[in-house]
Amino acid sequence: MKILVYIERAAVRGGIEVFAERHVARLRASGCETEICQGPALPRMDGFDEIIVHKCSDVATLEKFPPEKTVYYIHDHEPICPRGYAYTPLKRNCSRPGGLFPCIFCAPACKSWRTALGRVFSQSRRKRAMARFRKLVVISEFMKGRLVANGLPAGKISVEPPEIETRPPCGARSGGPSGRPVDLLYVGQLVRGKGVHLLLAAMARMKRPRTLDIVGSGNMEDGLKALAETLGLAGRVRFDGFQEDPQDWMRAAQCVVVPSFWQEPYGLVAAEAVALGRRVVAFAVGGLPEACGGKATLVPPGDVDALAKVLEEQ
């Protein structure tokens, strides 16, 4: 079987890119002849038995994939939300179906009504294209519910959670990867929806002084460093930067914290930490409860006081 796998070229290697890389490796291991295309350019698509799309932001490009051959993997809220995050400019999660109202009022971040309308109507085109594809694949029941609520046919939607791969340690160590113990650990991008600012606020309210290692990078890094200083946490919070394989950090941690306030479609970090036998604390939002499989301590979404209390007890 000859398969084309399409994914947009990303500025930052995140969970979608990791998922796609592992997916391609499994296809090749099963004997499939697999070719990868990193967009935005499209190759010739005749001659392939199946086309797998992992991320395609441009609607006009999405419409060019042959519906009868295309399997579309949906990793995030972009296909059903003009903002892409399923939370409003007021930083509140949104669970409403997409459409002209209320999406027109929160599509910007746009600088004009024309741009906002363009985003809303492009979502309608995107959903029409998706509805024609042979199969839609999501990574949680939560995301299937979101797609069905947005009018996509339930019979075409398959729920396929990521396969969790735990790798052997890189070497025997008495502490963390840097030769010291790790207390609390955050792994992920440093962007607003991941809620690291809420984790820092929770640490500032804890009576038990704990330390936090932050593994990752992103556009909020400088702001989070400044916030840690402001909250008097500079001596207790370490920014360790992007790590190619954070599982060694998870193995060394007393507790892995997933403070996302946006509706995570799944939560790969939480699932990996659980698989490694780590204690996990997470906000009960989006697909995180599914990813944790009943083996984590879940906190009401965005409740900083509850998060601080739970972390003191772990």
Model confidence at 184, pLDDT cuts 50, 70, 90, reads very high
Separation between Cα atoms, residue 98 and residue 84, nearest integer Å: 11
Domain spanning 182-313, CATH architecture: 3-Layer(aba) Sandwich (3.40)
Separation between Cα atoms, residue 156 and residue 136, nearest integer Å: 6
Residue 90 CB burial class (10 angstroms; 0-12, 13-18, ≥19): exposed
Whether 210 contacts 203, CB under 8 Å: yes
Q: Would the pTM of this model clear 0.95, i.e. be above it?
A: no
Whether 6 contacts 51, CB under 8 Å: yes
Whether 48 contacts 69, CB under 8 Å: yes
- Spans of all domains in the chain: 2-159, 182-313
Model confidence at 306, pLDDT cuts 50, 70, 90, reads very high
Give the helix/strand (H/E) hosting 225.
helix 221-230
Tokens of 100: 């002209």
Residue-averaged pLDDT of the chain: 89
Q: Do domains 2-159 and 182-313 have the same CATH topology?
A: yes
Minimum mean pLDDT range among 8-12, 133-137, 144-148: 8-12
Neighbours of 28 (CB within 10 A): 12
List the Cα angle 284/290/293 in 5-degree steps.
Answer: 100
Domain spanning 2-159, CATH architecture: 3-Layer(aba) Sandwich (3.40)
> 192-228, pLDDT tens digit by residue?
899 999 999 999 999 888 999 999 999 999 999 999 9
Whether 177 contacts 243, CB under 8 Å: yes
